[in-house]
Chains A and B, each alone.
Chain A
Amino acid sequence: MSKHWYMLTVTGEDKPGIVARITRTLFDRGMHLGEASMLRLGGNFTIMMMVAGEMDAQALEEALSQVAAELGLSLHIDPMQGGLHRHVPPNFIVRVSGADKAGIVAKVTGVLAQDGFNILGLDSDVAGSEDKPVYIMQIAGIASVPLETLEASLSGLRSEGIDVNVSPVEMLVG
């Protein structure tokens, strides 16, 4: 079978059964699932999922449209390049926390980008309370510069009240 991958994006108000209904529909149409990220963000449920099979993008969208309508979800399908088994393990993790203020993500990631840091995964959350929000973020990624270089680059952000630290990820294979 020629595997043609699509990136399926699904978002909508969170409720039980979204994953079950979407994946059941895909399974019934003979579609295969690849890597996926599914997450509740701000009371919404979000799915980014690799889907492959014989159907083209239009047929796929039609197949899912009924479930999407019933559950109040919006969906989006893009043909994608790439495929499975392209994992790159991270060698650094950057942890950030601080009073939530404009530009915190742009500043941290801007500094990392200048060092050639490639972000593989980023989790961020706003914690604290309405009147005292705190931004907390973990960034896993890969960079070829040494730890000291990243530390030096990020240290400038501390004077701006951003608590940021970087630690190496020593992968263990056993």
Chain B
Amino acid sequence: MEALPILTIPDDRLKQVSETVTGFDDSLRRFVAQLELTRQHGPGAVGIAAPQVGHFQRIAIVDCSVTRKPVPNHGNLVLINPEITHWDGYEVGREGCLSVPDYTGNVIRATHIKLKAQDVQGEEHEYEMEGYEARAVQHEIDHLDGILFIDRVVSRRTDLFKRKVYR
């Protein structure tokens, strides 16, 4: 199995809204394995979303278990049809993206979220997340809605104190 090619801007397909996953079968599991391989292949990527490899289904992987400084995390998470049901607080943090090479910027994200998602078997789970992991999930779910972090970048000088609510 090989890593899949990553779509990079200005590829319009990155703006496409992904479809709900309905079939939890072997082909889904095969794709998820390939997506995880691609994430690990991308330098330092803590998350990846299916549309980044041109697969327009609501599938994302987040893994914040390996960071420079340990952060609260739920390990390697395969998130199928993820949905944020609650968010709280906001914070500026620095983001980059496999689909936006050679650029990083500051983005405001919720600091605490509640999340509902299915796993590869189709079973539903609920998570409460904070900080870095919550940020990663918001970044990946944005991909499923055709939104990139560069659509949300703020200028420190002019936007920092403007209250922005996620979505």
Interface residues of A (CB under 8 A from B): 39, 85, 87, 89-90, 123, 125, 138, 168-174
> Known contacts A85-B102, A89-B104, A123-B157: does B67 contact A173 (CB below 8 Å)?
no
Q: How far is the CA of A172 from the CA of B135 in the complex (A)?
A: 8
- The chain A residue sitting closest to B39, CB to CB, is A174
The reply on B145 being an interface residue by CB < 8 A is: no
- The chain B residue sitting closest to A140, CB to CB, is B156
Number of B positions contacting A (CB below 8 A): 31
> Known contacts A90-B94, A123-B157, A168-B69: does B136 contact A174 (CB below 8 Å)?
yes
Cβ 8 A contact of B96, one of A125, A138, A168, A173: A173
Report chain B residues within 8 Å CB of A169: 93-94
Q: How far is the CA of A173 from the CA of B93 in the complex (A)?
A: 11
Query: Are A171 and B104 in contact (CB-based, < 8 A)?
Result: yes
Query: Are A89 and B94 in contact (CB-based, < 8 A)?
Result: yes
Report chain B residues within 8 Å CB of A87: 102-104
Report chain A residues within 8 Å CB of B43: 173
**9-residue interface stretch from B18-26, B44-52, B82-90:** B44-52
Q: How far is the CA of A17 from the CA of B72 in the complex (A)?
A: 48
The reply on B42 being an interface residue by CB < 8 A is: yes
The reply on B95 being an interface residue by CB < 8 A is: yes
Query: Are B71 and A172 in contact (CB-based, < 8 A)?
Result: no
Report chain A residues within 8 Å CB of B98: 173-174
Query: Are B139 and A170 in contact (CB-based, < 8 A)?
Result: no
Within 8 A of A (CB), among B68-110: 68-69, 71, 93-98, 102-104
Cβ 8 A contact of A170, one of B45, B68, B103, B149: B68
Query: Are B97 and A170 in contact (CB-based, < 8 A)?
Result: no
The reply on B132 being an interface residue by CB < 8 A is: yes
Query: Are B44 and A173 in contact (CB-based, < 8 A)?
Result: yes
* Minimum Cβ distance to chain A for residue B22 (Å): 25
> Known contacts A123-B156, A168-B69: does B104 contact A174 (CB below 8 Å)?
no
* Minimum Cβ distance to chain A for residue B162 (Å): 16
* Minimum Cβ distance to chain A for residue B13 (Å): 17
Query: Are A174 and B102 in contact (CB-based, < 8 A)?
Result: no
Report chain B residues within 8 Å CB of A125: 157
Query: Are B156 and A89 in contact (CB-based, < 8 A)?
Result: no
Query: Are A172 and B46 in contact (CB-based, < 8 A)?
Result: yes
Q: How far is the CA of A39 from the CA of B95 in the complex (A)?
A: 23
Report chain A residues within 8 Å CB of B143: 174
Q: How far is the CA of A115 from the CA of B140 in the complex (A)?
A: 36
> Known contacts A85-B102, A90-B94, A123-B157: does B132 contact A170 (CB below 8 Å)?
yes
A-B contact pairs, 11 of them (CB 8 A): A89-B96, A89-B104, A170-B69, A170-B93, A171-B44, A172-B93, A172-B132, A173-B46, A173-B98, A174-B47, A174-B143
* Minimum Cβ distance to chain A for residue B48 (Å): 7
Query: Are A170 and B140 in contact (CB-based, < 8 A)?
Result: no
- The chain A residue sitting closest to B133, CB to CB, is A172
Output the residue of A123, A171, A172 with the most chain B CB within 10 A: A172
